C-alpha cells in the first residue's frame, strides 16, 4: 500500500516537473512579443504600411519640430514579398521534385547523394549563401546588387526544408494508395501527380509555409545581394529593400533607431502568421 502511495507521489512529481519545464520554454517567446509590442506599437499606423522608410534628414526635422516619426516601411514590405515570392517560385518545384525522388527511390545511390547534400545545405551559414549568390548572380548576371540575387540565396535556404517535408509527407502515405492507382492501370507519373502529391499536400504545404517563414527574416544573405533600396521597386534586376534590411539600417542610424521596434514587431507578426496558418491548414486537411 505504501509502495503504491509512493509511486503515485513520484508520478505526480514527475508530471508537474515536466509541466513546469515546458512552461519555461514559453517564456522567451512571450517576453519577446511583449517587449516588441510595448516599444513598437506606437509607431504602427496607416502610414507605416504605405510610406517608404524615412531619411535621416526627415527624421531629424520631425524630431526637432516635436512631431512623430515620419514614413513607414512600405519599401521593405514590398521588397520582402517580392524576394520571397520569387525565391518560392524557384525553390518549391525543385524541392518538391527532389522530395518525390527521395521518397520513391529511398535507397538509390542518387537519393542518398541528394539527402546528404540537402542535410549539408541546411548547415551552410546564410551569409555564405549570400556570398555564393553574389558571385553567381550579382556580378555575372544582373551586373549589380539585385532582388533576383537575394531570391536565389533564399531559395537555396528553403530547399532542405521543402525536400524533407515532401519526403516525409509522401512516406507517411500507405503504399496501398500507390498500388491502388497503379492497379487501375495508371502510369507511374500520373500516380505521382494525381494521387501521391495531392494526398501528401497538407504536409508539403506546411513545410513550404515554414520554409517561407524561415527565410522571411533572413538578413545576412540579403545584405550581400539585394542590398536595400529607399524606393519601392518591383524590378528584379535592381536592388531591393526588405524588412530585415530596414531593421539593420534603422539600427545603424541614431535618428531612426525608434523604428527598429515597430519593424521587428511587424516582421515577427508576419512570420508568426505564416507559422500559424501552416498549422491550421495542415490541421484542416487532416480532418477532411
Which residues in this chain contact another protein in the complex, by CB under 8 A? 174, 176-187, 190-191, 194-195, 198-199, 201, 288
Q: How near is the Cβ of 99 to another protein at its closest, in Å?
A: 17
Q: Which is nearer to another protein, 182 or 220 (CB)?
A: 182
The distance of closest approach from Cβ of residue 206 to another protein in the complex, given in angstroms and rounded to an integer, is 16
Query: Shortest distance, CB of residue 173 to another protein, whole angstroms?
Result: 9
Q: Which three cell numbers stand for residue 53?
A: 522608410
Name the residue nearer to another protein (CB basis): 23 or 189: 189
* CA–CA separation, 71 and 259 (whole Å): 10
Which CB, 57 or 183, lies closer to another protein?
Answer: 183
Report yes or no: 285 and 204 within 8 Å, Cβ to Cβ: no
Q: What is the nearest approach in angstroms of another protein to the Cβ of residue 159?
A: 25
Closer to another protein at the Cβ: 43 or 178? 178
Beta carbons of 267 and 217 less than 8 angstroms apart = yes
Write down the least CB distance from residue 152 to another protein, Å. 32
Least separation in angstroms between residue 188's CB and another protein is 9
CB 281, min distance to another protein, A: 15
Grid coordinates representing 268 are 515577427
Q: Which is nearer to another protein, 5 or 286 (CB)?
A: 286
Q: Which is nearer to another protein, 20 or 189 (CB)?
A: 189
Amino acid at each position: 500500500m505504501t509502495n503504491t502511495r509512493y509511486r503515485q507521489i513520484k508520478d505526480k512529481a514527475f508530471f508537474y516537473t515536466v509541466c513546469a519545464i515546458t512552461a519555461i520554454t514559453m517564456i522567451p517567446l512571450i517576453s519577446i512579443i511583449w517587449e516588441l509590442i510595448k516599444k513598437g506599437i506606437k509607431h504602427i499606423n496607416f502610414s507605416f504600411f504605405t510610406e517608404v522608410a524615412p531619411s535621416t534628414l526627415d527624421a531629424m526635422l520631425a524630431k526637432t519640430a516635436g512631431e512623430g516619426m515620419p514614413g513607414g516601411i512600405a519599401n521593405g514590405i514590398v521588397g520582402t514579398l517580392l524576394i520571397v515570392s520569387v525565391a518560392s517560385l524557384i525553390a518549391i518545384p525543385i524541392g518538391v521534385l527532389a522530395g518525390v525522388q527521395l521518397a520513391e527511390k529511398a535507397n538509390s545511390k542518387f537519393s542518398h547523394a541528394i539527402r546528404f547534400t540537402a542535410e549539408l545545405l541546411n548547415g551552410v551559414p546564410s551569409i555564405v549563401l549570400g556570398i555564393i549568390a553574389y558571385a553567381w548572380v550579382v556580378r555575372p548576371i544582373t551586373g549589380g546588387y539585385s532582388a533576383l540575387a537575394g531570391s536565389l540565396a533564399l531559395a537555396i535556404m528553403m530547399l532542405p526544408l521543402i525536400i524533407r517535408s515532401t519526403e516525409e509527407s509522401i512516406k507517411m502515405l500507405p503504399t496501398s494508395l500507390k498500388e491502388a492507382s497503379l492497379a487501375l492501370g495508371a502510369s507511374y507519373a500520373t500516380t505521382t501527380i494525381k494521387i501521391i502529391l495531392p494526398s501528401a499536400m497538407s504536409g508539403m504545404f506546411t513545410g513550404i509555409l515554414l520554409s517561407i517563414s524561415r527565410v522571411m527574416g533572413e538578413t545576412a544573405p540579403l545584405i550581400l545581394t539585394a542590398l536595400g533600396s529607399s524606393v519601392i521597386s518591383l524590378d528584379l534586376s535592381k536592388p531591393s529593400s526588405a524588412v530585415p534590411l530596414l531593421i539593420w539600417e534603422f539600427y545603424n542610424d541614431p535618428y531612426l533607431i525608434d523604428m527598429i521596434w515597430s519593424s521587428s514587431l511587424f516582421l515577427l507578426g508576419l512570420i508568426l502568421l505564416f507559422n500559424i496558418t501552416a498549422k491550421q491548414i495542415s490541421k484542416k486537411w487532416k480532418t477532411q
